[in-house]
Structure 1
Amino acid sequence: MQRIHYFITTTLSIALFACGQGEQHKNRNSRQQDSLAMREQFATSPTLDANTAISHMKYDQGLEVQLVAAEPMVVAPVAMTFDERGRMWVVEMTGFMPDTVGTGEDKPDGKIVILEDTTGDGVMDKRTVFLDSLVLPRAVCLIENGVLVATPPQLWFIENNNDKPGKRTLVDDQYAAGGNVEHQPNGLLRAMDNWIYNAKSDRRYRKAGNKWLKETTHFRGQWGITQDNQGRVYYNNNSENLLGDYFPPGLGGANPQQQNAAGFDERIVPDNRTYPIHPTPGVNRGYMKGTLDDSLRLVNFTAACGPLIYRGNLLPATYQGNAFVAEPSANLIKRNILSDSSYVVKGVQAYQGKEFLASTDERFRPVDLKTGPDGALYIADMYRGILQHKTYITGYLKNEVKMRSLTQPLNCGRIYRVVPAGKQAAKPAVPNSPAALTEQLKSPNGAQRDKAQQLIIDQQLVALAPALRDLLVNGHDPVIQTHALWTLEGLQQLTIEDINGVWKASDAALKIQALAALPAVLNGSNINAATVALDSLSDNPYLAPVVAYLLPVVTKLDKANGSKLENKMIKAYAPNRYVAAALVNNATNREAALLKQVIAWNPDTTLVLRRQLEAVLKNAENKAFAKKMEELRKTLPRGYKIFNTVCQTCHGKHGEGIASMAPPLNESNWVNGNKKAFISIVLYGLTGPVEVHGKLYKAPEINGDMPGIGGSDEFNDADIAQLLTFLRSAWKNKADKVSAADIQQVRKQFNGRQKPFTAAELSN
């Protein structure tokens, strides 16, 4: 009883203080009384065994959650994939946040494990450690005779010798350089176009013989990445339900000065509301007004991750093509329904007031979702108390962890599958011949189609080209035809004749796939005929953006015809934001000349193409400070490092901001302005709308909250002072230095404060 009284009293005082109310118990309102009752009811957070944990879940009627694996079979799973035998390859991030200060987080205790069901009962009973001694591994991808493994900062390809690691090849030594565990590249999605894409990254990879190719692409997301039946990719950031692309992922990324290209990183589902089925006070900003509702439940996404476009055939047909998003902070999984209008994809939440799946177990942490080879929806549950990384963890959350003993245990983890009620998911037969793989390309399960395409390419089954060409011509299903097209491309058997045939067909979405694949077959001998076809296809507004994205490869082979096509598209589509973005992509290092050309043709200052070119020119100007930045790196090394590990992940490498994440730092009135206000933001955070450069930034255009780092044990006052001095000197910024004494003065003034500031508070 004494412990409960202490719990209630402490909690109330924290809630009152954090909300800045400063009044005593006599001023409690009914909301606080309700909150106290809820806190007393959920004063503990017991560790449940896996089967008991299922009984704490609520999910769609007609479905059933089944246990696939639990500790000690699997521990702290954060990513998973399936091989051709139906085995699961799981990434175990065992070392994540052993306590609230991350003690020992750099220990090499992460693993890549293979889980197998040898008895056929649907439960994994065999565990093989393929790779161990990893520091915070985050992603795995199977390709040819090996495995891609992401461990910061490297990306490795490791040959598989009978489930034992063989020769290692370093694919990228800067794959996850900078940032922290919440803000480093991950995903390794082997997409339909045969490239490997990542979240929190602007790179893609592809194995070509014994070489690894690396190319720049659009920057995407934060944690997790998935694709639909057209090969378009989807992702999110921690506070955004679902983001994604309208066009094939390989288009664009050619102009390094271009940011925020229309049609990429679009807000697919703008509704970020969540509906937990129990109080969720253990979120990093639970003390902030609006973070929790009157029943202490999370209002909006704060840890969105692991998105999945369900392409299976086991769940009812109404789930096909739906987007599922994990929210581990609120112990739930969201379902969204997507629809196409022209090339634009939009989505809405499937329900209001409820979720696809939600649990009353605070330790249920779904972080990755996959469609299995059996068509079921699989869930990787990290199952632990602490979810927030030490860089951003608040004093409030530290107290929540302490009160409910959320640090331990660290040796749990579960994987579940969702299936129709009363139905056991059948393990599919392993394809044992080239003909079986061809047949598998017709599977109603997208995971099976993907695997068949990958295996045909990995095994270089070029003898299947005639059968694949027959599928492309006579498949009668655009989804199957798309796989046939890209399988031919992966085998290097695709021809210009194949693509011409698709262009003459009726399905417009399939024509886009053929356009996206065109660079694989374009050469000097067919460029003239191709440009004639592209000129005709560009008349179709649905196809025009993709045609425009092909201009760089067309112009490289035929400058005259490329310029002619570009000029035609400028005059036809300059007001179109999607085509304009593609034209800017083609204007690398000649943006000023193109802008002059556009103004001479049409001096309208509001023209979309003109405004996009002006934005790119400004961005190029801002990047021309390499020498200055190098000097700052030498003179302010700690500040430079913190910027690269913490700030740039949301504000961009060049301080120009990132769409859906954060506004610019370069020339920001907050960075260059009042020193005390800037220190306050960095120490305690900023919430709500903020005006930068005369533009008002607010959610959902950006993440509505910037976390402070003043409560982090990673950085002392001298570190933070050096960071702020760095920011106030970087790029075009020209403001005076910040000292450790300045930091201490602000800390003293706001001693005990936890909640972030609003812009209005700091402007007074």
Structure 2
Amino acid sequence: MNFPRIIFLIVFSFSSLSLFSQNGDKASEKDLISSLNWKKWSPDVVPVFTPAESLAQFKVAPGFKVELVASEPMVKDPVFVDWDDQGRMWVGELRTYMRDLDGTGENERMSRVMVLEDTDQDGVMDKATPFVDDMINVRCIAFVDDGVLVVETGGLWLCKDTDGDLRCDEREKLFDFATAAQSNIEHAENALHFALDNWMYNSKSSRKLAWRNGKLIEMPAKGRGQWGMGSDAYGRLYFNANSNWFEVDWATYDRQWPSKGSTVKPPTNRVFGIRPNTALNRNYRPGRILEDGRVASVTTISGLAVHSHGAYGKDWEGAIFSMSPGTNTVGAFLPEKPFPASDQYVHQLYPDAVWKEREFLASSDERFRPVNASMGPDGCLYVVDFHRGVIQHKRYLTSYLRRQSAERQLDKPIGLGRIYRIVPKDHKTIDPPSDLVAGLSHPHLWWRLRSQKRIVEGGRQDLATDVQKLADNKKAKAHARVHAMWTLAGLGKLKEKTVRLAIEDHHWFVSMTGLRLAGESKGVADFFPDEFKTLAEQVVDRKMVPSTLASYAGIISKSGYPSRAVKTYKDKEADWVKKDSNLLSVYRKGRDQYSVSCGACHQADGKGLPNMAPTLAKSDWVTGDAKRLIGVAVHGLMGPIKVNGKPVEGVPPIMPPHGFMKDEQLAGILTYVRNAWGNRAGLISIEDITGYRKTESARVAPWTEVEF
């Protein structure tokens, strides 16, 4: 569900450069901007090829072929592609973007989401239905249990087809989203990419989203990339930026890869097309254009896709395909060694009789603009071709580029677009899974993630038993068990037995996932329970395990999970806390423990999260009766509640019990929350926790508000 980093080049016919001053011009480069260096390599008008003619302009890596899947007039100005469970292709169109050189009407409601179908099963789409046709620069979609999430400039909508005709009948704006696109479309939220940990990640965003019980939950997240998002079978996240082919991190598994730093970047920013690349925004600068007319480095990188457990086989496992629309190419990078043995990538280049070297996919058609890509249900790479001569937005356009584009007639036509499939020549189809649980074991990652998404987001508690059987099955494939464990975690049904079996497993990724999800089996995502520390220590002592697993087991056996906080919060210790040395000591220990075990949901500032966790700041549940607060911490709380007399809405009706934590830990956390964020109440001692446990030793069920 990646969405492209579209760098639109705007064009306008004019007779004199001196009449214009573009937003992208820099006063210090006035003389350079008037350069006509492009006439040396690309003086002619750019031809407009038919889809068949454009297809013939491709060169692709040996062993692959390029197939045309869809083209205009069925699709126009496509910028992303995704599939529903029935195999129908959903395409987003940016139809109002740069209709003229001044961007007139850019925010009119004319962009669409189209549903394409291949009714005769010949591999080419032959039927198109507009699901929605009145969006403002639609940016991405996500399928959820109740409908389709559609992101446009300024908002995220839930759209529903109530009568099965593939047209939206009902829509509801859930909240503001991508609001920055109203003034700068290149720098606003996009993607909604569902990953292994049950969250949807976004580029150019500081939040991640999850669909639960018919509502969106959001949590703070690390900012990543500019356009699009991808992930692999190990839960790594892939993203990129304008002049960077790709970047990848493994925050999902507590940043235990790479061995140094938090992310991995490409070994180079070089690019090798098969035609001159003069129509780029800053090519007036000396040295930007090489002697053969090509540019040396990328400046227009767009969406990406990752081949992981797809149709290309083990030799292409972990391959990153990144879009370079400005050079009419798709670059490919392969891991030097299988994950997690290395953090190095190799740029895949191929001999070319004319240009010496070229990228994985390259075209001599200057209007080929690969702005986005996705791995499909069939395990193949699909490339979205915006198919325009100009791809630079007016906000950054230089007079240099405007003049070249006008003279070479790159500004027209608009309203074209193609989608291609890159197929291995020995491609063999694999049937879809028979049901959702079977989908967790499918050979293709696409189906495993989609099945996991539907089970978790649909709240399919009726499937929990079968999913657990898969997670506990030592004969099942490792990645199937991993998906099953994450699915159980998403359902709130992951059991301690399953975690123990996983940690003890011989496959490193199953074992690492057991360690990663140990807290989930106790209902606390970010706290590593003490009872699993012995198992973690045993993992450290194993022979022939990857250093990644051994290091992780060693860290958490000694100090618990690394911090997963993404927001920095500087706690201000109140005067009354500082004056009481005993209180201050307990407060500080509790603060550290809170950040690990409670901060993800209730947040570092204690204000909670909508649809997820209520506020603890200035809450009568926190500052009121200490015994009630201890009871909630030890045994949990269920059912509707009121905070300060007002009903809490949207929050799941359960606070998981934390009775497995040590008395000292609970006393510290509760003391901290009672005296932080403007709260002021007394200290809770270890003896208070111990006394409560004795009094309520027969209790098992969580408390309800009425019982208090």
Give the TM-score, by structure 2 length. Answer: 0.68
Closer, same or farther in 2 for the Cα pair 1:586/1:222, shift >3 Å? closer
Alpha-carbon distance in 1 for matches of 2:237, 2:493: 25
Which structure is higher in RCO with an 8 Å CA cutoff and minimum separation 6?
Answer: 2
Alpha-carbon distance in 1 for matches of 2:568, 2:220: 16
Partner residue of 1:513? 513
- 1:116 to partner: Cα distance: 0.7
Alpha-carbon distance in 2 for matches of 1:78, 1:238: 16
Partner residue of 1:234? 238
Alpha-carbon distance in 2 for matches of 1:238, 1:425: 35
Q: CA contact under 8 A between 1:145 and 1:160: conserved in structure 2?
A: no
Q: CA contact under 8 A between 2:441 and 2:477: conserved in structure 1?
A: no
Q: Which amino acid aligns with 2:454?
A: L
Q: Which amino acid aligns with 1:320?
A: E
Q: CA contact under 8 A between 2:79 and 2:385: conserved in structure 1?
A: yes
Instruction: Work out which of the residue numbers 188, 193, 217 in structure 2 matches 1:189.
Output: 193
Closer, same or farther in 2 for the Cα pair 1:113/1:516, shift >3 Å? farther
3-state SS in 2 of match to 1:493: coil
- 1:107 to partner: Cα distance: 1.6
- 1:438 to partner: Cα distance: 2.9
- 1:247 to partner: Cα distance: 3.4
Alpha-carbon distance in 2 for matches of 1:202, 1:340: 31
- 1:467 to partner: Cα distance: 3.4
- 1:515 to partner: Cα distance: 3.5
Partner residue of 2:207? 203
For residues 533-579 of structure 1, the C-alpha deviation after alignment (integer angstroms, 9 at most, x for no partner) is: 567768997358867998xxxxxxxxxxxxxx7xx559xxxxxxxx9
Partner residue of 1:172? 175
- 1:531 to partner: Cα distance: 5.5
- 1:592 to partner: Cα distance: 11
Determine if the alignment matches structure 1 residue 286 to structure 2 residue 267.
no
For residues 143-170 of structure 1, the C-alpha deviation after alignment (integer angstroms, 9 at most, x for no partner) is: 1131111112211222232223244343
Task: Pick which of 111-120 and 497-506 moved more.
Answer: 497-506
Alpha-carbon distance in 2 for matches of 1:430, 1:60: 28
Partner residue of 2:397? 393
Partner residue of 2:454? 455
For residues 633-667 of structure 1, the C-alpha deviation after alignment (integer angstroms, 9 at most, x for no partner) is: xxxxxxxxxxxxxxxxxxxxxxxxxxxxxxxxxxx
- 1:222 to partner: Cα distance: 0.7
Determine if the alignment matches structure 1 residue 77 to structure 2 residue 81.
no
Alpha-carbon distance in 2 for matches of 1:295, 1:478: 49
Partner residue of 1:328? 325
Partner residue of 1:47? 48
3-state SS in 2 of match to 1:439: helix
Q: CA contact under 8 A between 2:333 and 2:348: conserved in structure 1?
A: yes
- 1:46 to partner: Cα distance: 1.5
Q: CA contact under 8 A between 2:149 and 2:156: conserved in structure 1?
A: yes
Alpha-carbon distance in 1 for matches of 2:565, 2:427: 52
Alpha-carbon distance in 2 for matches of 1:549, 1:290: 49
Determine if the alignment matches structure 1 residue 217 to structure 2 residue 215.
no
Partner residue of 2:548? 542
Alpha-carbon distance in 2 for matches of 1:548, 1:587: 26
Q: Which amino acid aligns with 1:349?
A: H
Task: Pick which of 466-475 and 305-314 moved more.
Answer: 466-475
Residues 294-443 of structure 1 correspond to what in structure 2 (within 5 A)? 294-311=291-308, 313-338=310-335, 339=337, 342=340, 345-351=343-349, 353-421=357-425, 426=429, 429=431, 431=433, 434=435, 437-443=436-442
- 1:63 to partner: Cα distance: 1.6
Q: CA contact under 8 A between 1:309 and 1:323: conserved in structure 2?
A: yes
Closer, same or farther in 2 for the Cα pair 1:54/1:264, shift >3 Å? farther
Question: Matched residue pairs, number?
Answer: 537
Determine if the alignment matches structure 1 residue 57 to structure 2 residue 58.
yes
Determine if the alignment matches structure 1 residue 446 to structure 2 residue 453.
no
Alpha-carbon distance in 2 for matches of 1:523, 1:493: 9
Q: Which amino acid aligns with 2:570?
A: N
3-state SS in 1 of match to 2:449: helix
Closer, same or farther in 2 for the Cα pair 1:312/1:501, shift >3 Å? closer
Closer, same or farther in 2 for the Cα pair 1:586/1:536, shift >3 Å? farther
Q: Which amino acid aligns with 1:83?
A: D
Alpha-carbon distance in 2 for matches of 1:548, 1:145: 42
Task: Pick which of 99-108 and 470-479 moved more.
Answer: 470-479
Alpha-carbon distance in 2 for matches of 1:240, 1:186: 18
- 1:468 to partner: Cα distance: 2.6
Q: Which amino acid aligns with 1:223?
A: W
Partner residue of 2:484? 484
Residues 252-271 of structure 1 correspond to what in structure 2 (within 5 A)? 266-271=263-268
Alpha-carbon distance in 2 for matches of 1:438, 1:69: 32
Q: CA contact under 8 A between 2:203 and 2:224: conserved in structure 1?
A: yes
Partner residue of 2:570? 589
Alpha-carbon distance in 2 for matches of 1:403, 1:586: 49
Closer, same or farther in 2 for the Cα pair 1:531/1:522, shift >3 Å? farther
Instruction: Work out which of the residue numbers 528, 531, 535 in structure 2 matches 1:529.
Output: 531
Closer, same or farther in 2 for the Cα pair 1:264/1:591, shift >3 Å? farther
For residues 35-85 of structure 1, the C-alpha deviation after alignment (integer angstroms, 9 at most, x for no partner) is: 644224xx1112211111010111112321111110111111111111111
- 1:102 to partner: Cα distance: 1.4
Alpha-carbon distance in 2 for matches of 1:370, 1:584: 30
Residues 99-110 of structure 1 correspond to what in structure 2 (within 5 A)? 99-110=100-111
Closer, same or farther in 2 for the Cα pair 1:110/1:390, shift >3 Å? same
Determine if the alignment matches structure 1 residue 133 to structure 2 residue 139.
no
Identity %: 30
Q: Which amino acid aligns with 2:408?
A: R
Alpha-carbon distance in 2 for matches of 1:19, 1:296: 21
Q: CA contact under 8 A between 1:240 and 1:272: conserved in structure 2?
A: yes
Partner residue of 2:614? none
3-state SS in 1 of match to 2:311: coil
Q: CA contact under 8 A between 1:158 and 1:166: conserved in structure 2?
A: yes
Alpha-carbon distance in 2 for matches of 1:146, 1:206: 14
- 1:186 to partner: Cα distance: 0.9
Instruction: Work out which of the residue numbers 246, 251, 262 in structure 1 matches 2:250.
Output: 246
Closer, same or farther in 2 for the Cα pair 1:467/1:341, shift >3 Å? closer
Partner residue of 2:504? 504
Closer, same or farther in 2 for the Cα pair 1:584/1:158, shift >3 Å? closer
- 1:109 to partner: Cα distance: 0.9
- 1:385 to partner: Cα distance: 1.6
Q: CA contact under 8 A between 1:538 and 1:569: conserved in structure 2?
A: no
For residues 284-337 of structure 1, the C-alpha deviation after alignment (integer angstroms, 9 at most, x for no partner) is: 111112322112212111111211111254335422321100000111000100
Alpha-carbon distance in 1 for matches of 2:82, 2:238: 17
Determine if the alignment matches structure 1 residue 121 to structure 2 residue 130.
no
Closer, same or farther in 2 for the Cα pair 1:370/1:462, shift >3 Å? same
Q: Which amino acid aligns with 2:347?
A: Q
Q: Which amino acid aligns with 1:62?
A: G
For residues 173-231 of structure 1, the C-alpha deviation after alignment (integer angstroms, 9 at most, x for no partner) is: 14444661111111110111111001111211111102221000111001111001101
Closer, same or farther in 2 for the Cα pair 1:475/1:355, shift >3 Å? farther
3-state SS in 2 of match to 1:454: helix
Closer, same or farther in 2 for the Cα pair 1:173/1:55, shift >3 Å? same
3-state SS in 1 of match to 2:62: coil
- 1:459 to partner: Cα distance: 4.6
Alpha-carbon distance in 1 for matches of 2:251, 2:235: 9
Alpha-carbon distance in 1 for matches of 2:567, 2:187: 30
Unaligned runs of 5+ in 2: 1-13, 19-26, 351-356, 575-708
Q: Which amino acid aligns with 1:467?
A: D
Closer, same or farther in 2 for the Cα pair 1:99/1:489, shift >3 Å? same
Alpha-carbon distance in 1 for matches of 2:72, 2:48: 12
Closer, same or farther in 2 for the Cα pair 1:312/1:119, shift >3 Å? farther
Alpha-carbon distance in 2 for matches of 1:175, 1:395: 29
Determine if the alignment matches structure 1 residue 97 to structure 2 residue 98.
yes
Closer, same or farther in 2 for the Cα pair 1:202/1:549, shift >3 Å? farther
Q: Which amino acid aligns with 2:506?
A: S
